[in-house]
Amino acid sequence: MVYGHGPNAFFAAQLAKLSPGRILLPGDGEGRNATHAAGQGWSVRSFDASAVGVEKSLALARTKKVHIEAECGDAADWEPNEEFDVVALCYLHLPKDLRPLFHRRVAQWLKPGGTLILEGFGPGQLAFQSGGPKDLSMLFTTDMLTSDFAGLNPSILTTEEVELDEGPYHQGTAEVTRVVAARPH
Protein backbone atom coordinates (compact mmCIF):
# COMPACT_ATOMS: atom_id res chain seq x y z
CA MET A 1 0.00 0.00 0.00
CA VAL A 2 1.78 3.09 -1.27
CA TYR A 3 -0.08 5.45 1.09
CA GLY A 4 -0.38 3.04 4.02
CA HIS A 5 -3.21 0.91 5.35
CA GLY A 6 -4.79 3.45 7.67
CA PRO A 7 -7.03 6.32 6.55
CA ASN A 8 -5.90 9.87 5.92
CA ALA A 9 -5.76 11.39 9.41
CA PHE A 10 -7.65 14.61 8.58
CA PHE A 11 -10.37 12.67 6.74
CA ALA A 12 -10.79 10.23 9.65
CA ALA A 13 -10.96 13.04 12.23
CA GLN A 14 -13.59 14.98 10.26
CA LEU A 15 -15.65 11.89 9.44
CA ALA A 16 -15.80 10.97 13.14
CA LYS A 17 -17.73 14.22 13.77
CA LEU A 18 -20.55 13.19 11.42
CA SER A 19 -23.39 10.68 11.65
CA PRO A 20 -22.90 7.79 9.20
CA GLY A 21 -24.78 7.98 5.92
CA ARG A 22 -23.85 7.66 2.25
CA ILE A 23 -20.30 8.70 1.29
CA LEU A 24 -18.45 9.01 -2.02
CA LEU A 25 -14.65 8.84 -2.29
CA PRO A 26 -13.44 9.87 -5.76
CA GLY A 27 -9.86 8.84 -6.58
CA ASP A 28 -9.64 6.57 -3.53
CA GLY A 29 -6.85 4.41 -4.98
CA GLU A 30 -6.18 1.34 -2.87
CA GLY A 31 -9.20 1.88 -0.60
CA ARG A 32 -7.71 2.93 2.73
CA ASN A 33 -10.28 5.71 3.20
CA ALA A 34 -13.24 3.76 1.79
CA THR A 35 -12.63 0.76 4.03
CA HIS A 36 -12.17 3.01 7.06
CA ALA A 37 -15.50 4.74 6.38
CA ALA A 38 -17.25 1.39 5.89
CA GLY A 39 -15.83 0.22 9.21
CA GLN A 40 -17.36 3.31 10.84
CA GLY A 41 -20.83 2.41 9.56
CA TRP A 42 -20.92 4.45 6.35
CA SER A 43 -22.45 3.20 3.09
CA VAL A 44 -19.45 3.67 0.79
CA ARG A 45 -19.04 4.23 -2.92
CA SER A 46 -15.68 5.02 -4.50
CA PHE A 47 -14.09 5.28 -7.89
CA ASP A 48 -10.57 5.47 -9.22
CA ALA A 49 -8.99 5.69 -12.67
CA SER A 50 -6.77 2.70 -11.88
CA ALA A 51 -8.29 -0.77 -12.29
CA VAL A 52 -5.41 -2.09 -10.16
CA GLY A 53 -6.29 0.41 -7.43
CA VAL A 54 -9.96 -0.63 -7.52
CA GLU A 55 -9.00 -4.33 -7.23
CA LYS A 56 -6.72 -3.55 -4.27
CA SER A 57 -9.54 -1.53 -2.70
CA LEU A 58 -12.00 -4.42 -3.00
CA ALA A 59 -9.37 -6.86 -1.68
CA LEU A 60 -8.72 -4.61 1.32
CA ALA A 61 -12.47 -4.47 2.00
CA ARG A 62 -12.63 -8.28 1.97
CA THR A 63 -9.65 -8.47 4.35
CA LYS A 64 -11.26 -5.94 6.72
CA LYS A 65 -14.65 -7.68 6.33
CA VAL A 66 -16.47 -4.52 5.24
CA HIS A 67 -18.57 -3.75 2.16
CA ILE A 68 -17.71 -1.00 -0.30
CA GLU A 69 -18.85 -0.26 -3.84
CA ALA A 70 -15.67 0.47 -5.82
CA GLU A 71 -15.51 1.03 -9.57
CA CYS A 72 -13.26 2.35 -12.29
CA GLY A 73 -14.00 5.86 -13.42
CA ASP A 74 -12.37 8.93 -14.93
CA ALA A 75 -12.78 12.23 -13.08
CA ALA A 76 -13.35 13.94 -16.44
CA ASP A 77 -16.71 12.26 -17.05
CA TRP A 78 -17.71 9.91 -14.22
CA GLU A 79 -21.16 10.61 -12.80
CA PRO A 80 -22.71 8.88 -9.77
CA ASN A 81 -26.39 9.57 -10.58
CA GLU A 82 -27.07 10.00 -6.87
CA GLU A 83 -26.35 12.49 -4.08
CA PHE A 84 -24.27 11.86 -0.96
CA ASP A 85 -24.14 12.96 2.66
CA VAL A 86 -20.35 13.32 2.32
CA VAL A 87 -17.92 13.55 -0.58
CA ALA A 88 -14.27 13.28 0.44
CA LEU A 89 -11.32 14.20 -1.76
CA CYS A 90 -7.96 13.10 -0.34
CA TYR A 91 -4.97 14.15 -2.44
CA LEU A 92 -6.92 14.10 -5.70
CA HIS A 93 -4.86 16.59 -7.70
CA LEU A 94 -6.08 17.14 -11.24
CA PRO A 95 -4.75 19.19 -14.17
CA LYS A 96 -5.76 22.87 -14.03
CA ASP A 97 -8.15 22.57 -17.01
CA LEU A 98 -10.07 19.69 -15.36
CA ARG A 99 -9.91 20.62 -11.65
CA PRO A 100 -12.47 23.47 -11.42
CA LEU A 101 -15.01 21.61 -13.57
CA PHE A 102 -14.62 18.45 -11.51
CA HIS A 103 -14.87 20.35 -8.22
CA ARG A 104 -18.11 22.03 -9.36
CA ARG A 105 -19.56 18.60 -10.20
CA VAL A 106 -18.45 17.28 -6.78
CA ALA A 107 -20.38 20.09 -5.07
CA GLN A 108 -23.51 19.02 -6.99
CA TRP A 109 -23.09 15.42 -5.79
CA LEU A 110 -23.71 16.53 -2.20
CA LYS A 111 -27.20 16.31 -0.75
CA PRO A 112 -28.52 19.61 0.63
CA GLY A 113 -26.77 19.87 3.99
CA GLY A 114 -24.08 17.43 2.82
CA THR A 115 -20.40 17.85 3.67
CA LEU A 116 -17.27 18.11 1.55
CA ILE A 117 -14.01 16.96 3.18
CA LEU A 118 -10.85 17.77 1.22
CA GLU A 119 -7.13 17.54 1.93
CA GLY A 120 -4.43 18.05 -0.66
CA PHE A 121 -1.04 19.63 -1.06
CA GLY A 122 -0.61 23.39 -1.02
CA PRO A 123 1.86 25.38 -3.16
CA GLY A 124 4.51 25.33 -0.41
CA GLN A 125 4.73 21.56 -0.95
CA LEU A 126 7.20 22.22 -3.78
CA ALA A 127 9.83 22.83 -1.06
CA PHE A 128 9.24 19.39 0.52
CA GLN A 129 9.99 15.81 -0.52
CA SER A 130 6.94 14.23 1.14
CA GLY A 131 4.91 13.63 -2.01
CA GLY A 132 2.56 15.41 -4.35
CA PRO A 133 2.67 16.85 -7.84
CA LYS A 134 5.61 19.05 -8.78
CA ASP A 135 3.34 21.21 -10.97
CA LEU A 136 2.33 24.40 -9.13
CA SER A 137 -0.96 24.62 -11.06
CA MET A 138 -2.08 21.29 -9.54
CA LEU A 139 -1.51 22.37 -5.90
CA PHE A 140 -4.36 23.83 -3.84
CA THR A 141 -4.66 27.37 -2.50
CA THR A 142 -7.54 28.51 -0.32
CA ASP A 143 -8.51 31.10 -2.96
CA MET A 144 -8.61 28.41 -5.67
CA LEU A 145 -10.82 26.13 -3.59
CA THR A 146 -13.07 29.01 -2.50
CA SER A 147 -13.68 29.68 -6.18
CA ASP A 148 -14.06 26.01 -7.18
CA PHE A 149 -16.59 25.34 -4.38
CA ALA A 150 -18.28 28.76 -4.45
CA GLY A 151 -21.72 27.34 -3.63
CA LEU A 152 -20.57 25.65 -0.41
CA ASN A 153 -20.20 27.14 3.08
CA PRO A 154 -16.76 26.35 4.54
CA SER A 155 -16.25 25.70 8.25
CA ILE A 156 -12.56 24.84 7.69
CA LEU A 157 -10.48 26.45 4.93
CA THR A 158 -6.79 26.54 5.70
CA THR A 159 -3.29 25.89 4.43
CA GLU A 160 -0.84 24.64 7.03
CA GLU A 161 2.35 22.69 7.60
CA VAL A 162 1.90 19.14 8.95
CA GLU A 163 3.88 15.94 9.46
CA LEU A 164 2.64 13.16 7.19
CA ASP A 165 2.99 9.48 8.05
CA GLU A 166 0.90 7.77 5.38
CA GLY A 167 2.89 5.02 3.67
CA PRO A 168 6.18 5.40 1.81
CA TYR A 169 4.98 8.14 -0.58
CA HIS A 170 3.56 10.54 2.04
CA GLN A 171 6.26 10.84 4.73
CA GLY A 172 7.59 13.91 6.48
CA THR A 173 6.91 17.63 6.58
CA ALA A 174 4.28 18.79 4.10
CA GLU A 175 2.12 21.78 3.28
CA VAL A 176 -1.53 20.84 2.98
CA THR A 177 -4.71 22.71 2.19
CA ARG A 178 -7.81 21.52 4.02
CA VAL A 179 -11.50 22.18 3.46
CA VAL A 180 -14.64 21.14 5.26
CA ALA A 181 -17.68 22.77 3.67
CA ALA A 182 -21.43 22.21 3.62
CA ARG A 183 -23.92 22.44 0.79
CA PRO A 184 -26.70 24.80 1.86
CA HIS A 185 -30.13 23.28 2.57
Residue pLDDT, tens place only, 78-111: 999 999 999 999 999 999 999 999 999 999 999 9
β-partners of residue 179 are 118, 157
pLDDT at site 3: 47
- The candidate with the shortest Cα–Cα distance to 128, out of 92, 167, 161, is 161
Residue 5 has pLDDT above 70, yes or no: no
Residue 2 has pLDDT above 90, yes or no: no
**pTM score of the predicted model:** 0.95
- Provide the mean pLDDT of the chain: 94
- The candidate with the shortest Cα–Cα distance to 149, out of 170, 180, 171, is 180
Domain boundaries, the chain: 9-182
* Interior/surface letters 72-102, b for 16+ CB within 10 angstroms, e for the rest: ebebeebebeeebbbbbbbbbbbeeeebbeb
Class of domain 9-182: alpha beta
Residue-wise pLDDT tens digits, 121-163: 999 999 999 989 999 999 999 999 999 999 999 999 999 999 9
Torsion of CA 77, 78, 84, 87, to 10 degrees: -80
DSSP code, position 127: G
